[in-house]
Amino acid sequence: MSSQGSGSGGTSQAGSPNGTSIPPASQIVDASGATWTLSGGVVNKNGSAAGYSSGVVDLVYMNGGIYQENAANNWYMWNGSTWIASPYSPLVATAGVCGGIANVCTIGNLANSADNGTYTTWSCTGIDGGTTASCSIHDPVINGTCGTAAKSCSQGTASNIADNGTTTTWSCIGGAGGTTAVCNSIDVASNTASAKLGINLGFFNDWGDREMMFVDVVKNARGFMSATPGQVGSGQVAVDANGWPTSDFGAIFLSDPADFLDRPVSETFPSFAGTYNFSFTGQATVNSFACCQIQNVSYNAATNTTTGQVVVSPTDTFLALTFTGTNNGIQNLHLLRPGYPLGTTQIFTTQFLNAIAPFSTLRFMDPLVTNASTVTSWSQRTLPTSPSQAAAGTGIAWEYVIALANASGKDIWINIPEGVNLTDTTSNNYVTQLANLLHANLNPGIHVYVEYSNELWNYAFQQTSDNLSAAISDVDSGADPTLNYDNGNNQYYWASRRVVHQIVRISQLFKNVYGAAAINTTIRPVYLSQFVQPFLAEDGLNYLYANFGAPNQYIYGIGGAPYYGTSGSGYSDVPSFIAALQTGLLTIESDFPTETYSGGIQYGNVSYKGLADYWGLKSLSYEGGPAPDYGSSNVLNEEVLSDPGENQTIQSELANWYGCGNDLFMYFDLAEAQGNFWGAYEDLSLPTPKSTALQAVSQTPLSSYTTCLSH
C-alpha cells in the first residue's frame, strides 16, 4: 500500500505534518527532531539504521508514531528501540475493539471510564476515524467477610457500626452484587492481659511456613528457578523489571520438613492439603514436581489468562510446579490457598488473622529478616509488587506490614536494619522514608514500637560485630566522641552506647515526620539488651542521660528477652524435662521485680523493672517464653510440645511478669514447623498447650495477677 499527501484525520504534533509518508516525501521529522529516511527498503534514523528493517515500501508518521509497511503488506511500529508488529494500518480507519478485562482496549484508545459499583464501562476510540466501541464488564463479585478485629472486614466495606458497651456489631457490605455479612465481636477490655501481650511472627519462606500469613503462596516462593526435573529448587532464571520470569521456570511454593516423630503430614500439618486455585497472564504447560495433581486447566485467549487447580493430597510434602512452553515467561501468577477463590481481594488468611487475635502487638523481626539484613538504603527494600516476599536479606515489603496492621488493628513492633545510615541528612534517609510511609498509610490509633536491629549484644549475629566495628570507627575517627565520654576506653561499652545513640537518632527522625507529641505515644522507640545482664542497659541509660538528657524524652521502654530453659539439668523423659523447665523458670522469674535503684552505676543487683521505674520508662520484653534444649533428643523436644506442663510454665511466667508490674510481653513465636520447637502452633488449626496458655492469659484481667516473686 502506498500513500499520498498528509493522510486523513489524526492529531497534530511538532515536526512533519501528521500523515506524512515516504514516498512521496523524502524525509520525516518526528516530534523529538529526529530525521527519518527510507533507502533501499531500509529505515534510517538520523542517518543510521533504525533497528532491523528490510523490504520496506512505506514509512508513515501518524499521531506522533513512526510506522513502516513491508512488501508483504505487514505493518510495524517503532517503540523507541525496535520494530514491533502493529495490529492496524495507520492509513486506514480502524474500529476500536474492547479488551477482555475492564479498561483495556485491544485496539484503540481508552476513554470515558466509569464504574457504578456493579459494572465498569469504557470506550475504545477508533484509529484514524474508525468507529468507537462501547465496552462493559461486570465487576468481580465481592462477598462481604467479617474481619477478626472489631469493625474490620476481610472483604467488603464496613458499615452500620454500633457498640452497646458489651458487643460491637457491624456489617461488611459486598461489592458488585456480592452478599453482605453481619458481624459481631465481644468487646475486649483494655484491663485484660491481651493489652500487654504481643507475639513475634516467624520467618517467611516456603519451608516450614506454618503461620499461613498470605492467601497467595506465590509470595512464599524462594524464587523462580530451573524447570528441569530434579533442578526445580536450584538456579535462578532471568526476570523482568517487575520480577516475573522471562523463560520457562519451576518454583517451590511450600514444603514440609521431616518430622522427628515420623508422623504423617496429615497429622502434623493438615492445613497444607486441599485444592489451590491458580491463574496467570500468558500460556504454559503446568506440571507438578514431586507432588500433587493438576486439574481443570483452561486458557482464555481473549484475556490471555490461564487458570487451573492444584490438588495437594494429605500425603504430599511439597507444593512445587514447573511452567514450560511459556514463550518468554508468564506474569501475574497467583496460587491461592484452599478455600480462597480466584479474584479475591483478601491478602491475609482468615486462619492467620484468627491466630493473632489474642495479641495486641506484632513483632516483625523475622519477617523483615533483621538478623541477616543486607539493606543499607531505602532503594534496596522489597517492594509490594515483588512476586515473592521471601526475599533473602531484605524481608517482606513494609507495605504488607502496614496492610496487616490495618487489617488486624494490631500495634506493630518494627526493626530498623543495622546497616542503614541514620546520619544521612537528606530526604533519602531510610528512617525518614519509612516514617513518611507509615504516617501516610497506617490507620489512626495503631502504635509503632521501633527497635534498632535485633540483639546487638549477641555476637552470634553479624550485625552485632558490624555495630562494634562502627563504634570503634566512630571513636577513632572522632565522628562520635560521646561513645567514650567517660574515657573508659572499653570498646564493648562503645558498641552498647552506639545502639543507644542510634535509637536517639531514630526517635528524632520519627519526630521530624510525626511531630514531638507522637514520640512515646504513637511512636514508641525502645532500647533493648541482654536480659541476664541489665548492667549493659544501666550503662546505656546513664550514657544517654549524660549526653542527651532524660531518656524518656527519646525512648518509651527498655527490656530484654526473659527465656527460661532446662539450665543443663539432667532429664530423660517428658516429666523430667518439664521439671527442668520449671527450675529454669524460677531462676528467670526472680529478675522480674523492681530492684532498688537510685541512679549512677551499680553493675549488679539491678533489674530492668528497677531501671525503668527510675528513668520513667516501661519495662518490656522483646521475646520470651520456654526455650528448647537443642542439646537434648529432638524426639524429646517434640514430645514436650504436647505436654500440659508447657501450658503451666507459660501461664506462670506471664502471671509473675504482670504481677511484678511489667508492661508488654512479646512471646516468641506464633508458629513453626516440627523440628523448630519455638512456635505456639505447628498448624494453626490444631491448638497446643502453648497456644491455649496464651489464649487463657489474653482473656484474664490484669488485676488478677498480683503475685510477684522476689529475690
Q: What is the pLDDT of residues 554-567, one digit of tens each?
A: 999 999 999 999 87
pLDDT recorded at residue 6: 32
Instruction: Please give the grid coordinates belonging to residue 208.
Output: 516450614
Distance separating alpha carbons of residues 689 and 626, to the nearest angstrom: 12
Distance separating alpha carbons of residues 431 and 419, to the nearest angstrom: 12
Nearest to 389 by CA among 537, 565, 203, 566: 203
pLDDT recorded at residue 10: 37
Mean pLDDT value across residues 97-118: 85
pLDDT value at 4 more than 60: no
CB atoms within 10 A of CB 584: 21
Residue 256 pLDDT grade (very low, low, confident, very high; cuts 50, 70, 90):
confident
Backbone angles phi, psi at 502, to 5 degrees: -65, -40
Distance separating alpha carbons of residues 70 and 40, to the nearest angstrom: 12
pLDDT value at 615 more than 80: yes
Angle, CA 117 vertex, CA 111 and CA 122 arms, to 5°: 15
pLDDT value at 459 more than 70: yes
pLDDT value at 9 more than 50: no
Question: Could you give the strand order of the β-sheet that contains 293-300, starting from the edge strand earlier in sequence?
Answer: 293-300, 305-312, 274-281, 331-336
Mean pLDDT value across residues 237-243: 94
Instruction: Please give the grid coordinates belonging to residue 613.
Output: 521505674
Q: Which residue has the higher pLDDT, 392 or 342?
A: 342
- Tell me if residue 462 falls in helix, strand or coil: helix
CB 331 within 8 A of CB 242: yes
Distance separating alpha carbons of residues 216 and 431, to the nearest angstrom: 29
Distance separating alpha carbons of residues 36 and 147, to the nearest angstrom: 60
Return residue ranges of the chain for CATH 2.60.40.
Answer: 215-346
Q: Which residues contact 475 (CB under 8 A, 6 or more apart)?
A: 481, 483, 484, 494
pLDDT value at 127 more than 60: yes
pLDDT recorded at residue 215: 97
H helix runs in 327-461, sequence order: 350-356, 398-408, 430-441
pLDDT recorded at residue 346: 94
Q: In whole angstroms, what separates CA 278 from the centre of its chain?
A: 21
Q: Which residues contact 515 (CB under 8 A, 6 or more apart)?
A: none
pLDDT value at 303 more than 70: yes
Matching CATH number, 351-704, of 3.40.640.10, 1.10.10.1800, 2.60.40.3080, 3.20.20.80: 3.20.20.80
683: amino acid identity, one letter:
D
pLDDT recorded at residue 245: 96
Mean pLDDT value across residues 55-81: 88
The model's pLDDT over 322-366, given as tens digits with 9 standing for 90+, comes to 999 999 999 999 999 999 999 999 999 999 999 999 999 999 999
Angstrom CA distances, 189 to 77, 146, 165, 167, 646, stand at: 66, 21, 10, 11, 27
Distance separating alpha carbons of residues 688 and 639, to the nearest angstrom: 12
Q: What is the DSSP string of 362-391?
A: EE-TTTTTGGG----SGGGSPPTTSS-S--
CB 705 within 8 A of CB 655: yes
Q: Is 541 left (phi over 0), alpha (psi -120 to 50) or beta?
A: alpha
Matching CATH number, 215-346, of 2.60.40, 1.10.10, 3.20.20, 1.10.4100: 2.60.40
Backbone angles phi, psi at 94, to 5 degrees: -125, 125
Q: Which residue has the higher pLDDT, 482 or 707?
A: 482
**Dihedral sign of CA atoms 451, 452, 458, 463 in order:** positive
pLDDT value at 413 more than 50: yes
Tell if the pTM clears 0.85, that is, is over it.
Answer: no
pLDDT recorded at residue 483: 98
Distance separating alpha carbons of residues 94 and 546, to the nearest angstrom: 77
Angstrom CA distances, 467 to 151, 280, 380, 456, stand at: 43, 44, 20, 7
The model's pLDDT over 565-586, given as tens digits with 9 standing for 90+, comes to 987 666 888 999 999 999 999 9
pLDDT recorded at residue 402: 97
Angstrom CA distances, 56 to 22, 23, 59, 72, 93, stand at: 10, 11, 7, 9, 21
CB atoms within 10 A of CB 280: 23
CB 563 within 8 A of CB 627: yes
CB atoms within 10 A of CB 540: 25
Mean pLDDT of the chain: 90
pLDDT recorded at residue 100: 80
119: amino acid identity, one letter:
Y
Return residue ranges of the chain for CATH 3.20.20.80.
Answer: 351-704
pLDDT recorded at residue 705: 96
Return residue ranges of the chain for CATH 2.40.10.
Answer: 21-85
Query: Which of 8-17, 122-131, 232-241, 544-553 has the lowest average pLDDT?
Result: 8-17
- Most confident region among 28-37, 140-149, 274-283, 576-585 by mean pLDDT: 274-283
pLDDT value at 182 more than 80: no
Distance separating alpha carbons of residues 276 and 292, to the nearest angstrom: 10
**DSSP code, position 263:** -
Query: Which of 148-157, 333-342, 494-503, 600-609 has the lowest average pLDDT?
Result: 148-157
Distance separating alpha carbons of residues 146 and 170, to the nearest angstrom: 9
Supply the CATH classification number for the domain 21-85.
2.40.10
CB 583 within 8 A of CB 642: no
Angle, CA 463 vertex, CA 457 and CA 469 arms, to 5°: 85
CB 64 within 8 A of CB 32: no
The model's pLDDT over 528-554, given as tens digits with 9 standing for 90+, comes to 999 998 999 999 999 999 999 999 999
The model's pLDDT over 467-483, given as tens digits with 9 standing for 90+, comes to 999 999 999 999 999 99
CB 65 within 8 A of CB 78: yes
CB atoms within 10 A of CB 343: 12
pLDDT recorded at residue 8: 31
Q: Which residue has the higher pLDDT, 461 or 86?
A: 461
Distance separating alpha carbons of residues 36 and 106, to the nearest angstrom: 28
Q: Following CA atoms 272, 277, 283, 287 in sequence, which dihedral angle do they give, to the nearest 10 degrees?
A: 30
Instruction: Please give the grid coordinates belonging to residue 323.
Output: 511452567
Distance separating alpha carbons of residues 407 and 425, to the nearest angstrom: 34
Strands 557-560 and 563-564: unpaired
pLDDT value at 2 more than 70: no
Distance separating alpha carbons of residues 329 and 248, to the nearest angstrom: 6
CA atoms within 13 A on the CB side of 661: 13
